[in-house]
Chain A
Amino acid sequence: MRIIAISVVALALLTASPALAQQKPDPAKVDAAVKASLKTFPAPPEVWQPRLDADETMRACAASDNSPPKAVVDAIAKRERGSIEYPADGQFIGDWKKGEATAQSGYGLRSTDYPATRANGGNCYACHQLSKTEVSYGTIGPSLLGYGKLREFKADEVKIAYEKVYNSHAAFPCSLMPRFGSNKVLTMDQIKDLVALLMSKDSPVNQ
């Protein structure tokens, strides 16, 4: 993901548009335009409305075209790692079949998805290749085909996979991927199911 971000910046520099030459607007003005122009989330105001504000990590990522300097990268990784909550029993692997369903589903949090009628999806296939059987996959993220096999199903890789799904910025600051756990998009159990999808020997990811 980071490589993508860097190459995007490089491309942007090579093809500098007229707009880039202009002065950047005051961030407060940008935030005000967002608040004045968007309707409110169709949910109680305390649930999602605060997330219209870009937090410190998102500000740093946006300001640098998702490629901040080393010191900022380290600060983001540290801060985002701090928001990861771990299963109390140390068990990271759920049910890969449920994980596959979560990876397929794009349901949830779109303006027409309120009130929710089922669990949010992770929509993983929108951006990642995961299995040979699903040909409709996106390419914004790297292919995850054979993810567990490539890592020899090692125990420490299970925890790393959990952390990447829970908060991708801990491993890849300014990743394009949503912070599924920290942002409360997916539950801890759903994330464990996705870890199972990635790291189980019998999961379609590793066939």
Chain B
Amino acid sequence: MTFGFRPLLVACAIFALGSSALAQDSDAATEKAIEKYRQMLKEDPWSNPGLLDADRGEGLWTSARGPKKVSLEQCDLGKGPGNVEGAFAELPRYFADADRVMDVETRILWCMEKLQGFDRAELIKRPHPGGGQPVKELGAIATYVASKSSGMKYSAKFDQPKEKESVALGEALFVRRSGPFDFACTTCHAAPNTRIRLQGLAHLSNPEGARKVIGEWPAYRVSSTHVMTMQHRLADCFWQMRLPEPELGSDLTVALISYLTSQAKGGDISAPGLKR
């Protein structure tokens, strides 16, 4: 998964360096080669295959589905039933009907269960696609919803008591070390300009670092050839941390997304993004 993409990056770096370059002097050149690759991915935004999933998500949002055969157009993402435009920019937020804070995927999950009658347990059993498989329906809907805030800035307020609690819990989880490897989120994401192998790491404990990357999710990930949602991305981190998979929509995932989004407040949303 996470390291599976390495050969392509390595090939990319080696191509740029030429065979005679000395490895110990190559750090800057390697970074440059990777950056060039990223730019190539970004140059033509319409080449982003994630847009197809956003379209698929829109179709799923408006179609009558589930045992109750209704669409999600009565789903309230925080701006009133059916209002999708700009809703993602203000998530996560507290929802009185569920009496909890929810990120976009947790909210869609809730609507699919309560409005359409889908079985929640079934939806969260295998919520994320394997490599090469398209993003699942819930993820496609989340991609659609996020795309309707693209070009806006993160503006979730986090001023309700439960919202503040969720951010604080997320921050505590971000630094908490456990598991066979003693890893925390901070192991990889609390310092500037570090890498795992050749992969640059986001500096998420720093608001500027968070603003740079959080708004790109959900994103089409070239290495796994599918859209990866934020819930999926978190699960990928837990896989890498040698921890068990977090349940989609669980308090831990919502809290971490609340913390990351509060870190990224004011940052641009450009979803779906395009990642390595």
Within 8 A of B (CB), among A7-26: 7-8, 11-12, 15, 17-20, 22-25
Known: A54-B177, A135-B23. A19 touches B171 (CB 8 A): yes
Residues on B with C-beta less than 8 A from A139 are: 27, 193-195
Pair B196/A127 contact, Cβ less than 8 Å: yes
Tell whether, in the assembled complex, residue B172 and residue A178 are in contact, meaning their CB atoms are under 8 Å apart: no
**Known A-B contacts A38-B244, A110-B242, A135-B13; A62 and B176 likewise in contact (beta carbons under 8 Å):** yes
B60 CB–A CB distance under 8 Å: no
A38, B245: Cα distance in complex, Å: 6
Of A4, A33, A136, the contact of B169 (CB 8 Å cutoff): A33
Q: Does any Cβ of A come within 8 Å of B118's Cβ?
A: no
- B27 — nearest CB in chain A belongs to which residue? A139
* A61 is an interface residue with CB less than 8 A from chain B: yes
A34, A42, A58, A178: the one within 8 Å of B252 (CB)? A34
Selected contact of A39 from candidates B1, B199, B245, CB within 8 Å: B245
Looking across the interface, which residue of chain B has its beta carbon closest to that of A55?
B178
> Nearest chain A CB to B37's CB is how many angstroms away?
14
A-B contact count (CB 8 A): 180
Distance in angstroms between the alpha carbons of A30 and B171 in the assembled complex: 10
Judge whether B168 and A183 touch: CB under 8 Å.
Answer: no
Q: Complex Cα distance A64/B240, Å?
A: 24
User: What chain A residues lie within 8 Å of B137 (beta carbons)?
Assistant: none
Q: Is the CB of A51 within 8 A of B176?
A: no
- B246 x A52 contact (CB < 8 A): no
With contact pairs A110-B239, A132-B22 given, residues A126 and B197 touching in the complex (Cβ less than 8 Å):
yes
Shortest distance in angstroms between B142's beta carbon and chain A's nearest beta carbon?
A: 19
Chain A residue numbers with a CB within 8 Å of B119 are none
Chain A residue with the shortest CB-CB distance to B181: A178
Q: Tell me the chain B residues, 234-276 only, with Cβ under 8 Å from chain A.
A: 238-240, 242-247, 250-253, 255, 259, 262-263, 265
Interface residues of A (CB under 8 A from B): 4, 7-8, 11-12, 15, 17-20, 22-25, 27, 29-30, 33-34, 36-42, 48, 51-54, 58, 61-62, 65-66, 106, 108-112, 125-127, 129, 132-140, 145, 176, 178-179, 183-185
| A18-B265, A22-B164 known; A138 vs B195 contact (CB < 8 Å) | yes
Stretch of B71-79, B95-103, B107-115, B203-211 at the chain-chain interface? B203-211
Q: How far is A136 from B188 in the complex, measured between Cα atoms in Å?
A: 17
Partner of A25, one of B168, B244, B253: B168
**A12-B205, A34-B173 known; A179-B247 Cβ under 8 A:** no
Residue from the list B181, B197, B199 in contact with A125, Cβ < 8 A: B197
Question: CA of A142 to CA of B72 in the docked complex: distance in angstroms?
Answer: 51
Q: Which of B20-40 contact A (CB under 8 A)?
A: 22-24, 26-27, 30
Residue contact B179 to A52, C-beta cutoff 8 Å: yes
Contacts of B243 on A, CB cut-off 8 Å? 38, 52, 111
**A34, A37, A41 pick with most chain B CB within 10 angstroms:** A37
